[in-house]
Amino acid sequence: MSTQSLRKDHKLIEKVLQALDATIKLLKDGKQIPEEILSPTLDFTQNFTDVCHHGKEEEALFPALEKAGMPTTMGPIHMMLLDHKRTKEIAEHISLASKKYLENGDSAYLIETLELYVQHVTEHLWKENNRLFMMADARLNDATNEIDKNMDDIEERKLSELGKTRSHYESLVDELEKNVSEIN
């Protein structure tokens, strides 16, 4: 299955979305969210999701789909590229909102940006899991091994450039879930 690596990423991203959703509820309840939670969130959203995961899609999956006859200037690929751009923009707003929150304790902007991110990325993952990846698996069956190898290479290169590994992000997510659950 040519989308197996991406689906694995989605499981990790979904865990972060759950932690963000819990963080939103805590903020709304007036709880203080420490930098130890916000900083890994920013790292994950800006580096793992945007650089690594989107990199694998944009540099491996989308070109393979284009080669198989799916246009990139319209249709599903074009929509996913627009979504990726929007995800990056929202993550940048989370960074600004986090800095403001840590400086002055005002959580309104942070809540707003986190809610927007969770909603947007949740919808995006649904579109990929239930539409794009199904099309990809059907169209790219003959090229699965090549695409999987390409995605593995891209992931390793992108994370190496960041000085990180996949296991770093898997541990980061586990720690984030734990830290969020301990705030009361």
- pLDDT per residue over 112-153, tens digit each? 999 999 999 999 999 999 999 999 999 888 888 889 899 999
Of residues 147, 114, 173, 109, the one with CA closest to residue 1: 147
Instruction: Provide Rg for the chain, Cα atoms.
Output: 17
How far is it, in rounded angstroms, from Cα 132 to Cα 77? 8
CATH level 2 (architecture), domain 4-181: Up-down Bundle (1.20)
- pLDDT exceeds cutoff 80 at 2: no
pLDDT at 1 over 70: no
Cα gap 114→126, rounded to integer Å: 18
Q: Which amino acid is at 59?
A: E
- Average confidence (pLDDT) over 5-25: 95
Under 8 Å CB-to-CB from 34, ≥6 apart: which residues? 179
pLDDT higher than 70, residue 81: yes
Residue 62 reports pLDDT greater than 80: yes
Q: Does 108 have pLDDT greater than 70?
A: yes
Angle, helices 166-181 vs 35-43, to 10°: value is 150
Q: Tell me, what's the pLDDT at 145?
A: 86
Please, which pLDDT band fits residue 183 given cuts at 50, 70 and 90?
confident
Give the chain's mean pLDDT: 94
Mean pLDDT on 11-32: 95
Q: What is the model's pLDDT at position 157? A: 96
Predicted pLDDT at 184 = 65
pLDDT score at 143: 84
Residues 71-97 have a mean pLDDT of 95
The full set of domain ranges for the chain reads 4-181
Backbone angles phi, psi at 31, to 5 degrees: -75, 150
The model carries a pTM of 0.93
Three-state SS for 171? Answer: helix
